[in-house]
Structure 1
Amino acid sequence: MALPGFHGPARNLASHFFDAMLSLPLNLAPGSDLRLSIEQLAAEQQISGFVLGVVGNLSQASFQCPGQAEPRVLKGDLEVITLNGNFSPKGVHLHLSLSDGACQVWGGHLEPGTLVQKGVDLLLGITDQSESQPPKAPDAMTNPRLEIAVLPGCPWCARALRLLRTLDLPHQVDTVNGDADFKRWQSRSGMSTFPQVFVDGQLIGGYDDLTTLHASGELEALR
């Protein structure tokens, strides 16, 4: 591979890096949470890497601006311009830039609650994976035993997700978007608070119940 701008040992090292790297396309359907989808993929397949490219649009964007206490949330017809950063089974560090309907550009740290409008196509560069098998697209994954429903901007939901990522537990994340979703989850669980955690389709409760399972050692048994 010809690599303009690289010379000598640096050229050889860069060539080896790109030859060894795997690429994985990721197509996100309407309503998918951009950040949580990448986090879930990295955790379930135990892969690390970075975003090579992205095209698509969003119905809602949540991002953290420098020096601000809370994420900024934009809604409307939003076009993704760039998504840069890295991911691993332990989490992600991603920067998003986007344009609104007035062609004003926004950007910051990507947060949960960034929702796909019509579709988002990503190309991920995989630099490390724990298995010898190539990474698989999400539709080829087996369903994890843990399922968690979260509200965008909910601090207890963020803590629950952080716990699951720290333990490297495979889990399916469902983001509650709007009143219809809220009522659907309320009907399923009988709860009006979030997160809502399910194991093998059965409700176990919220964040406190999740930490109780962790303290007893039962949570780790769900690998």
Structure 2
Amino acid sequence: MKTYAVRLTTGQDLKKELINFTKENNINAGCILTCVGCITRATLRMANASIIKDFEKNYEIVSLVGTLCKDGIHLHISLSDEKGNVIGGHLKENCLIGTTAEIIIADLDHLKFTREFDKKTGYKELHISK
């Protein structure tokens, strides 16, 4: 397993930067080990795939989890506001970093992830090979 440490700064788009990082570093099977930081704007898809919500205020990133591969990334995020209220969902583009996001990524070099269309779900789903 190879690990990477990444720091994003003010105004960077969390999802776009992780997509670019995955491609630039040729990550075939990656995952997020940890992430701390803050967001000033978030766009999340809720549990019902048709509902997308925008949030604009300061949030702490309390969790970022998911898988990374050159075919695409699948990430879920939890965010906490100044009162400790937590929101979360599927990470979409337009989630903008506040002051920082410190991210540790693992590249699982013994595996290969791809995203293949699944007729049952209607989405490109994770396919795992060695």
By the TM > 0.5 criterion, same fold?
A: yes
User: C-alpha separation between the residues in 2 aligned to 1:126 and 1:68?
Assistant: 28
1:31 match = 11
Counterpart amino acid of residue 85 in structure 1: G
Deviation at 1:68, TM superposition (A): 4.8
Secondary structure of the residue aligned to 2:47 is coil
Counterpart amino acid of residue 43 in structure 1: K
User: C-alpha separation between the residues in 1 aligned to 2:91 and 2:49?
Assistant: 14
Higher fraction of helix: 1
2:99 match = 118
Higher fraction of strand: 2
2:90 match = 109
Deviation at 1:127, TM superposition (A): 1.1
User: C-alpha separation between the residues in 1 aligned to 2:7 and 2:51?
Assistant: 29
2:108 match = 127
Q: Identify the structure with bigger relative contact order (alpha carbons < 8 Å, sequence gap 6+).
A: 2
What TM-score, normalized by structure 1, do the two folds share? 0.47
Counterpart amino acid of residue 113 in structure 1: N
Taking only aligned residues, the RMSD between alpha carbons, in angstroms, comes to 1.4
Deviation at 1:102, TM superposition (A): 2.5
2:64 match = 83
Residues 166-191 of structure 1 show CA distances to partners (whole Å, capped at 9, x for unaligned) of xxxxxxxxxxxxxxxxxxxxxxxxxx
User: C-alpha separation between the residues in 2 aligned to 1:114 and 1:103?
Assistant: 19
Q: 2:31 aligns with which of 43, 47, 50?
A: 50
Give unmatched runs, 5+ long, in structure 1: 1-20, 130-223
Counterpart amino acid of residue 74 in structure 1: F
User: C-alpha separation between the residues in 2 aligned to 1:40 and 1:111?
Assistant: 14
Change (3 A) 1:32 1:67: same
2:41 match = 60
Deviation at 1:70, TM superposition (A): 3.7
Greater C-alpha Rg? 1
Give unmatched runs, 5+ long, in structure 2: 111-130
2:21 match = 41
- After superposing on structure 2, the runs of 4+ consecutive aligned residues of structure 1 that deviate more than 6 Å are none
Identity across the alignment (%)? 28
Counterpart amino acid of residue 91 in structure 2: L
After TM superposition, the structure 1 = structure 2 runs for residues 144-163 of structure 1, keeping only pairs within 5 Å, are none
Residues 41-100 of structure 1 show CA distances to partners (whole Å, capped at 9, x for unaligned) of 111222131000011001111111011524211111110000001101111000100111
User: C-alpha separation between the residues in 1 aligned to 2:48 and 2:70?
Assistant: 27
User: C-alpha separation between the residues in 2 aligned to 1:117 and 1:54?
Assistant: 14
What TM-score, normalized by structure 2, do the two folds share? 0.79
User: C-alpha separation between the residues in 2 aligned to 1:76 and 1:67?
Assistant: 23
